[in-house]
Structure 1
Amino acid sequence: MTKKLFSAALFFIFLFSTSITNAQIPFEINESGHIIIKAKINNVEGKFILDTGAGLNAIFTKFSKKITPEKTNNFFVGHRATGEELNLDLYNATSIEINNKEFKNQQYAIVDLEFGDIDGLISLQPFRNTPITIDYTNKKILFNKSTKNEKSIDIQIADYAGKAIDIFTYIELNDTVKIQAILDSGAGKNSFWFSSKLMDPLALNKADFKTVPVKSDFNKENNYYIGKLSKLSTVNKLCKQDGLDVAFVDGLIYEGKTSIDWLGKVLTIDIPSKKIYITE
């Protein structure tokens, strides 16, 4: 092989490996603002919501019939945001692949729900050691994107003995009340829920809000107080919202729960660094 041909071959190998490392994975956004990706579990492809608030990977019953679940002796007991207990058996995944990138040593739960043509939820579990970038502008997901010189917010990691993982950050309401909120892409777009316990510290009168009793999929009913909040920001003031529609919720197990779209158009969730980097 001539030196010129050898150089060309090296360039091709570099280009090919770079395209895999920085592969751009297209996603859809449905009407409610959920991020829909294609993934394979046990080599069977399905459509999944990328859900940073799910805690653990989950597939719905209909999809579980397409694969051969490998049940373990492990289980996870958690709670939905409005308090309902979930006691879920865990299954070993032979493989989980997203755009031919394989994530090993993954588990999932089977949940008896139906959500249109969606087959389940992909949580942050696969991305414990892999920064993931969500590009809302171009509707692409990237892995290992450079975040050099980008601004960021700090996140706190809730790691439930390796079985489930959630991310939180501190925010300020009306520049007066500092709380910790779970960041939940599974909430869709422009979703802002706060514990009704915060209405008194914020000097908000329930009579000024619309009271809506909401029954969950698990038949638990909670009152939602629907109205406006003047200001919301991250504690470093990097991300701000004014005059937003919110819900104060009785029985919410978090101080706050928000979607992630308000943080920016291009977000890199870096769990090892405990940061979300914001490109724009």
Structure 2
Amino acid sequence: MRPCLLAMLCACIFLSSAKAHDPRTEIPFQVMESGHILVKATVSGVEGNFIFDTGAGITVFTKAFFDKLKNTQREDGGYTGFRATGERLDIDLYRVRDVSFGPMKKAEAEVSFLDANLGGIDGIIAVKLLEDQPFTIDFTQNVLRFENKQTLASIRKSAKVVPLQLEQSRNHSLTLFAYFQVNDSLRLQCSLDSGAGKDVFRLNAKYLGRLHVDVSDTTQVRKIERKSEFNENFKSSIYITQLRNLSVDGEPSIQTGPFRVQLVEGLIYDGIMWISWLGRKITFDLGAPALLVRN
């Protein structure tokens, strides 16, 4: 074989190896029809199906799954949190043993549970479980991939970098935010929420006026009332319409629109949004903190 061909072959082998991913660092997931990311995890030897939710502050199991676990320990203190709609949740906190989430093994983790039927889903895994572990949601391969310093450095060479803001609550809860431009007129800080559902964009209804949404125009705006899944007495008023465009603040090439939006009365944030529109590969480096977005 001629030297130049040998060199080219070696180069190709090297590049292929460099791009290959170690399956031991990956967690396969299923994208449900609703758009939610469904993953498997094992707690105290019991395997379950969970929604991986970057918008959930705390990992929460169903009571049916929690009751299967051994060696759980209730903490003396509890936690009061609020759903994005403003609904108050007062929950007890527990320590569970032997959590396995793909390659991640933890001797214990803090969780709660709710007495709710999620249709065969055993609960929600919050991003706090991975606060010290950079990871990529890869929608091209449908895997959640754990990253390290070397792979992060490689990803940064071609990725668009989106600064993140982290909201830590008493070391129990973690929520992620970034800034976005809405209709080229509003700069809003929104929660990044893979658990919101497919193509779900919610903004605070207090911005109706600044977005020039006329709620009396029923040809363009539809109003609905939505009950909570946990408290039938709690209702949210929602205005559904279409806005012109949405883009990442400082990275206007990451954009979508026109897009359907829900403007929610009483929302506790500027907005919350599903994340798939950002890119096909989204890396969370919470140590930076930043999103690294690739298509």
| Deviation readout 1:127-164 (Å, 9 max, x if unpaired) | 11101110111101100143231221011000012101
Aligned to 1:64: 66
1:80 is displaced (CA, Å) by 1.0
Find the partner of 1:267 among 279, 282, 289. 282
| Aligned pairs for 1:226-265 within 5 A | 226-236=240-250, 237-265=252-280
1:248 is displaced (CA, Å) by 0.5
| Aligned pairs for 1:218-229 within 5 A | 218-219=231-232, 220-229=234-243
Q: Does 1:187 align with 2:199?
A: no
1:105 is displaced (CA, Å) by 4.5
Gaps of 5+ in 1: 1-17
Q: Does 1:215 align with 2:227?
A: yes
Q: For the Cα contact (< 8 Å) 2:156–2:292, is it kept in 1? A: no
1:184 is displaced (CA, Å) by 0.6
1:238 is displaced (CA, Å) by 3.7
Structure 2 Cα separation of the partners of residues 41 and 105 of structure 1: 9
2:224 aligned partner, one-letter code: V
Structure 2 Cα separation of the partners of residues 105 and 67 of structure 1: 12
Count of residue pairs the alignment pairs up = 262
Structure 2 Cα separation of the partners of residues 114 and 238 of structure 1: 40
1:104 is displaced (CA, Å) by 4.5
Aligned to 1:124: 127
Aligned to 1:52: 54
TM-score (norm 1): 0.90
Find the partner of 1:166 among 156, 159, 175. 175
Find the partner of 1:42 among 33, 41, 44. 44
1:53 aligned partner, one-letter code: G
1:19 is displaced (CA, Å) by 3.6
Structure 1 Cα separation of the partners of residues 216 and 98 of structure 2: 52
Runs (4+) off by over 2 Å: 145-148
Q: Helix, strand or coil: the match of 2:244?
A: strand
Aligned to 1:5: none
1:43 is displaced (CA, Å) by 2.1
Percent of pairs identical after alignment? 31
Find the partner of 1:96 among 95, 99, 106. 99
Q: For the Cα contact (< 8 Å) 2:247–2:255, is it kept in 1? A: yes
| Deviation readout 1:164-185 (Å, 9 max, x if unpaired) | 1000001111000111100111
Q: Helix, strand or coil: the match of 2:245?
A: strand
Q: For the Cα contact (< 8 Å) 1:193–1:257, is it kept in 2? A: yes
Aligned to 1:148: 156
Q: For the Cα contact (< 8 Å) 1:224–1:250, is it kept in 2? A: yes
Aligned to 2:291: 276
| Deviation readout 1:34-81 (Å, 9 max, x if unpaired) | 000000112211000000111011100110111122111131110111
Q: For the Cα contact (< 8 Å) 1:106–1:125, is it kept in 2? A: no
